[in-house]
Structure 1
Amino acid sequence: MKKNYLKRVMAAALAGVMAMGVFGCGSASATDTTAESGTIAGTESGAQTASMGEAEVYWFSDVTGWGPNGWEKGVTTSPFLDAVKAETGVTFTIEQPPTDADTKLGLMIASNDLPDLISITDADTIKQLIQSGKVWSMEEFLQTYDPESHLLTDFPDDIKKAVNFKFGGWYSVPSHMNSNDNRKVNPPSSQVYVDNVTKGHNSAIMFNKTIMDELGITQEDVQTEEGFYKACELVKNSGYMIDGQSVFPVMLHADKWINSSLDGIIAETFGVAPVDADGNYRHKEMNPGYKRALKFVNNLIQNGYLDINSLTLDEAALKTYIESGRVFCWIGNPAQSSKKETVPFVSFGPILADNGARPIVPISLQAGSGWIQTFVSKDCEHPEQIAKMLSFATSREGMFLNEYGVEGVDYTLDENGIAARTEDGNKKFETDYKKNIALWPFANTDFAWSTQAPPAEGTDGAVFNQVSTAIGKYEDTYIFDSDLLSFQDGNVIEPSSDLGIKVSQVKSYLESQKAKIVSASSDEQFEKEYKSMLETLEGYSIADIDAEYNKTLQQNYEAYGEKIENVNAGIYEN
């Protein structure tokens, strides 16, 4: 791989010099992802690219922030992007709307004006896109335009089944694939990554170990509800400063606090199940235990441990506080904080409820359907080049380029196939790429965990693995298979039906009402707003919505041979 790629790079530099000599210097396009050294073209791939021509592909995503820093503006490139252009002639015009991306895509579907490539996560939009009939079946697309594609023979069978089950067919190339069949080709390099598969979770309660040590706070102090409040009170009144600035006792996940904090680890630590005592589906907001999760956040605000203004911050602002070391406890997605080497976070799993409820955590135990789903429009202008681009991007060569760069330049491989960044590769990773070289839609989780050594003690990776698996590893945690709830992803209730409209109304209402409940200035106001939530949900026919979801949940129970238990029904239902 290294020899062929470097040959193409050298040919590219020469081609760039020759082109400048003939045509003179011109301004770069705002969407051009070509490196300054020129277009990469070698004798083999160059001939193929020349025969197909260059193809500018309009790529839309509802996930923001991925790819090497500035690439979406044509400011920078990467070895992967350069190789994609060399192999297929494809360059990208990328659009990642920071807000209302799915609404915008919905309008494009309605007006029959779709982007060439569509990488999205919203389940309702995915359903709308597939039902429109305007995107290719991946099997048909590849058979038509790249019949030699490896994806037709080695795409993991269990993931294909999961995608078929979730979306009604194989219409997309998923990112972050993680399954038994995928691990047969990409076996985990260590037990750390096995734990990530079986215990890993994307929401955690994390403590700044430096502040704990400075103030004499122990694990025992923060692992119970009562002890946690006392620890927050100690931090609040300690006068402890970081670079002359006060410390925040608690922060949630900024403007994503509902999904990543409240409905994630907080509800889970208090043992809120998405089913009733008989295992029938029920919105977790209707579980009496959810009131305890809401009151926990309300107590933090009422007691001055959590600044309510922090709930409107964006992630970038949140990171500045976390990375400054000024946050004692932060509750949210551990992947969204960096510089863990200088801010040593640790998680002890749950904050145990004083009523004895067991923590309940959903973890995908089946073959997952991935995260970002990439679709191809039937009206795309360059189908053959897009097909070959997808095949290259998901090939082993493409995955190494996407994850690490160029072998021998950006990284080396040992005898066990474990990659290690070179000094130059690390420098570029920290500066040019801002720790984000990869295009996420082509990231493969099992591949990454197969080619990485276990993270060294004290590094970002080690801290992330510790905090993300702590709740799953806690001995009394009840883990259920989150795949049983995959039906929630827009596949049960038709969005345009009367009940579907009510589902949308419930979603919008809960976002605003939860904010009202947790920000209540008194216990009396809290009770009033909580009661209003239950009454309003009843008015939105929440029982009928749950009954429809439950039909599919019962089918999933039978198909998977498993069932979700409400292990705390005896505590919350009586």
Structure 2
Amino acid sequence: MAELHLEIQKERGMVMMRKEVRKRNGKGLCALALAGIMAFSLSACGSSAQTGAAGTQSGQSEAAGETAQAGTAAASEGTGELYWFSDVSGWGPATANWSVKESPATQYIEENFGLTLKIEQPPTDAITKLGLMIASGELPDVMSITDADMYKQLVAADKVWDMKSFLETYDPDSHLLKDFPEDIKQALTDTYGGWYSYPSHMESKDNREVFPPDDQVWIDVVEKGSNMCIMFNKEIMDALGITREDVQTEDGFYAACEKVKTSGYQVDGQSVLPVVLQCNLWINSSLDGIVAWNFGAVPVDENGNYRHTELSPGYKNGLKFLNNLVQDGYLDVNTLTIDETALKTYLDAKRVFCWIGNQAQQDKTNMPWVSFGPILASNGARPAMPVNQSAGTGWIQTLVSKDCKNPEKIAKLLSWASSQEGLLVNYYGTEGTDYTIDEKGIVTRTEEGTKKLAEEYDNNVLMWPFANTSFERNTEPVPDPTSNRGVEVALMPALGNYADTYIYDESLLGFRNSTVIEPSSDLGIKLSQVKTYLESQKAKIVTAASDEAFETEYQNMIDTLNQYEITAIDEEYNKVYQEYCEKKGSSIEDVNADLYK
């Protein structure tokens, strides 16, 4: 992810609970809170889906209650340890205020399913460690991973269960055998050869049949949104008389930055930075994301064949845009090496006029961030933005080892955690104490629940592997505009809502997360060299001291890529890309090709 998501997106949180399990309609609920998760794609569902979803959710709740009751019976037979491995370190024990012994979720799992969790999240080289465990034949019981190649390796080695077979064997009444989204199942099958995992952050047409969005705002976020944005501090704009129209063109934006730079304006006695990017993550989040999109860079040429986005003329314009900011003193190169914590100090102090990056990484509560969409390129190039328009495969993939201990308990745990009841617990906690729910299924946190979320857990997510984006947007009310979530949903669709933005299907590029060229081949070695080279060379181009130096460094990039046989690399990628296009019945267009003939 991405932000996207990835990515993605990460808005996070959890709620503490009392140890005793509260009862609701004869079904056990424990208190646990998860804040909203980073956004993924979503499209509209009609009222008929709402009606159908109510029945499905009711069925899920009944099935979850039966699963929990069956789990309770299993728990009474004794408690076993569940060894759970993850290559994602932003949830569970890797976060600040999380304890396996004190977690409401793990308490519920222990009391109802007879499992205590041993969660391992290596801070470095997680996939290498998992590979060694495969070689030794001693796999964890459950693995929540994001590495596509490792997923395929586990499948190829016949080390993990096919989900259908697993559930039919150990929990034949599981709702997942009836309502797991077929389009996501197909996407998993296309990518990995079968349905071997439970994905986190699921968002698709079929998943929305189960959990339809409760408001148009969520549809806009997913059909036109991204975590990557160009954001402005409205307080500074108003103080200096800078208008929306001023910053919506490239020349106007430079003029606004000059005004900020020379105004002497301060916040609490400290100077203001005209522009910041996404700190030391600026290449992926700022340049290769929103800046490239803003100037219409796309990963195809004028004939519709795949090519590295870096070769797009629009990408060069994005590089020059950032270089202009450096040369004119609007972008301090020292801010390109700071970390997220340092970036946060500048943003929270409201000392930044324009922030170009991933808004999901920062708390925006009561912050003056606004976005007006693109900064229109001087040459008239259309913005071009990728949005996933097909069922994806989610983010974190949870797989079950064929050699796992307590398979029946694990199966029932998966069924409960993915059900309506389990999701309510996972996101919101205990009804009546931590939240209320109206007749439409919209959840509102209580004062007590909100306080717990903000104070006790400092917005740390508990269990990302069971996050469900469609469920989130089915139950979450339209947020307060001053809240973190409210600011976020206003920022995310700004570029996509601009009438002339070209939106293309990001799922057509899904192959880029897989191994297209054998790494040990001559071309694979050159591809590895390309990736390493580009990261350092982009920094040289953006920080060039003059226009002449910029052109020299840019040409050095083109020449070096040719030496690394970039054309041959792109030809291999194009073969797979064209297959994706044929299968999905769509393609990506270079909408700005005529500008550069």
Q: Normalised by the size of structure 2, how large is the TM-score?
A: 0.85
CA contact (8 A) 1:72 1:94 kept: no
- The residue aligned with 1:495 is 519
Given that 2:277 and 2:356 are in contact with CA atoms closer than 8 Å, whether structure 1 keeps it comes out as yes
Report 1:456-471 matches (<5 A). 456-471=480-495
C-alpha contact (below 8 Å) 1:405/1:411 kept by paired residues? yes
Cα 1:361–1:7, aligned 2, differ >3 Å: closer, same or farther? closer
Does residue 443 (structure 1) correspond to residue 467 (structure 2)? The answer is yes
CA drift of 1:9 comes to: 8.3
What is the CA–CA distance in structure 1 between the aligned matches of 2:209 and 2:28, rounded to whole Å?
32
- Quick one: distance in 1 between partners of 2:29 and 2:235? 47
Q: In 2, distance between residues paired with 1:113 and 1:320? A: 44
Answer yes or no: is 1:366 the counterpart of 2:390.
Answer: yes
The percentage of counterpart residues that share the same residue type is 56
Aligned to 2:74: 48
**Equivalent residue of 1:534, what SS?**
helix
Residue identity in the other structure for 1:482 = E
CA distances 1:548-570 after superposition (whole Å, capped 9, x unpaired) = 11112212222211121100011
- Which residue of the partner structure matches residue 134 of structure 1? 159
1:56-111 per-residue CA deviation (whole Å, 9 max, x = no partner) reads 42322234356895355548523x33222222223333333444444444444444
**Offset, 1:113:** 4.2
Listed one character per residue, the Cα deviations across residues 386-444 of structure 1 (whole Å, up to 9, x for unaligned) are 22222221111111111111111111111111111111100001012222344211110
| Residue 330 (structure 2) pairs with residue 310 (structure 1) | no
Give the equivalent residue in structure 1 for 2:39.
none
2:595 aligns to what?
Answer: 571
Please state if 1:555 is matched with 2:583. Answer: no
Map 1:54-203 → 2, pairs under 5 A: 54-65=80-91, 70=96, 72=98, 74=100, 76-78=102-104, 80-203=105-228
Q: Structure 1, unaligned stretches of length 5 or more?
A: 11-41
From 438, 444, 451, give the equivalent of 1:427: 451
Written as runs of structure 1 = structure 2, the 5 A alignment for 1:313-328 is: 313-328=338-353
**Contact 2:166/2:411, CA 8 A, preserved across alignment:** yes
Instruction: Report if aligned partners of 2:29, 2:425 keep a CA contact under 8 Å in 1.
Output: no
In 1, the alpha carbon distance for the partners of 2:98 and 2:141 equals 16
Letter in structure 2 aligned against 1:3:
K
Q: Match of 1:60, as an amino acid?
A: S
2:246 equivalent to 1:221: yes
Question: What letter corresponds to residue 530 of structure 1 in structure 2?
Answer: Y
- Larger mean CA deviation between 202-211 and 485-494 belongs to 485-494
Q: Which aligned pairs between 1:12-23 and structure 2 lie closer than 5 A?
A: none
Is 2:69–2:112's contact at 8 Å kept on the other side of the alignment?
Answer: no
Taking the aligned partners of 1:247 and 1:108, their CA distance within structure 2 comes to 51
Structure 1 residues 397-436: aligned runs within 5 Å: 397-436=421-460
Change (3 A) 1:150 1:6: closer
Per the TM alignment, residue 283 of structure 1 is displaced from its structure 2 partner at its CA by: 0.5
Distance 1:423 1:83, change over 3 A: same
Q: The residue matched to 1:551 in structure 2 has which SS?
A: helix
Q: Structure 2: how far apart are the matches of 1:450 and 1:314?
A: 35
CA distance in 2: counterparts of 1:207 and 1:464, whole angstroms: 13
State how far apart, in whole Å, the 2-side matches of 1:448 and 1:506 are.
39
Q: Which residue of 2 aligns with 1:267?
A: 292
Shift of 1:3: 1.8
Q: Per-residue CA shift, 1:307-350, capped at 9, x if unaligned?
A: 22222222233222212211111111121121x23212111111
Task: Give, in whole Å, the separation in 1 of the partners of 2:355 and 2:101.
Answer: 34
Distance 1:281 1:349 in 2: 27
Q: Please report the TM-score for the alignment, with normalisation by the length of structure 1.
A: 0.88
Which amino acid in the other structure matches residue 447 of structure 1? F
Task: Tell me which amino acid in the other structure corresponds to 1:421.
Answer: R
Q: Decide whether the 8 Å contact of 1:403 with 1:438 is kept in 2.
A: no
Q: Secondary structure at the match of 1:431?
A: helix
Tell me the equivalent position of 1:22. none
Q: Which moved more, 1:529-538 or 1:254-263?
A: 529-538
Q: Tell me the CA shift for residue 5 of structure 1.
A: 9.4
Q: State the shift of 1:271 in Å.
A: 0.2
Q: Report the Cα distance in structure 1 between the residues aligned to 2:127 and 2:559, rounded to whole angstroms.
A: 30
Cα distance change of structure 1 residues 123 and 509 upon mapping to structure 2, 3 Å threshold: farther
| Residue in structure 2 matched with residue 532 of structure 1 by the alignment | 556
Letter in 2 for 1:304: G
Rounded to whole Å, the distance in 2 between the matches of 1:192 and 1:64 is 27
Tell me, in whole angstroms, the C-alpha distance in 1 between the residues paired with 2:236 and 2:270.
14
Indicate if the aligned counterparts of 1:171 and 1:375 stay in contact, CA closer than 8 A.
yes
Contact persistence 1:135–1:377 (CA under 8 A): yes
Q: Which amino acid aligns with 2:74?
A: Q
Inter-CA distance 516–68: structure 2 relative to 1 (3 Å threshold):
closer
Q: Report how far residue 357 of structure 1 moved.
A: 0.2
SS at structure 2 position matched to 1:124:
helix
Structure 1 residue matching 2:231: 3-state secondary structure = strand
Residue type of the alignment partner of 1:182: N
Aligned amino acid, residue 123 of structure 1: A
Whether the 8 Å contact between 2:88 and 2:121 is mirrored in structure 1 is: yes
Aligned partner of 2:61 in structure 1 is: none
- Please tell me whether residue 344 in structure 1 is matched to residue 368 in structure 2: yes
Matched, 1:288 2:274: no
- Shift of the 385–75 alpha-carbon distance from structure 1 to 2, 3 Å rule, reads closer
1:332 maps to a residue whose letter is: G
Matched, 1:522 2:539: no
CA distance in 2, matches of 1:560, 1:230: 44
1:477 and 2:497 aligned: no
Contact 2:370 2:490 in 1 (8 A): yes
What is residue 3 of structure 1 aligned with on the other side? 23
1:433 maps to amino acid:
Y
**In the aligned structure 1, how far is the partner of 2:334 from the partner of 2:178?**
52
Question: Is the Cα–Cα contact under 8 Å of residues 67 and 440 in structure 1 kept in the other structure?
Answer: no
| Preserved contact between residue 227 and residue 358 of structure 2 (Cα < 8 Å) | yes
* Aligned amino acid, residue 318 of structure 1: L
Asked if the contact 1:206/1:329 (under 8 Å) is kept, the reply is yes
Residues 75 and 270 of structure 1: CA distance in aligned 2, closer, same or farther (over 3 Å): farther
Partner residue, 2:415: 391
The 1:97/1:531 distance shift into structure 2, 3 A limit, reads farther
State the SS of the aligned residue for 2:425. helix
How many angstroms apart in 1 are the aligned matches of 2:219 and 2:386?
17
Q: Do structure 1's residue 512 and structure 2's residue 532 form an aligned pair?
A: no
User: 2:565 matched to which residue of 1?
Assistant: 541
Contact (CA 8 Å) 1:63, 1:120: kept in 2 or not?
no
Pairwise CA distance, 1:491: 4.4
Deviation of 1:285 after TM superposition, in Å, equals 0.8
C-alpha RMSD of matched pairs (Å):
2.4
Larger relative contact order, structure 1 or 2 (CA cutoff 8 Å, min sep 6): 2
C-alpha displacement of 1:528:
2.3
Aligned positions of 1:232-271 closer than 5 A: 232-271=257-296
Partners of 2:23 and 2:395 in 1: CA distance: 33
SS of the residue corresponding to residue 219 of structure 1 reads: coil
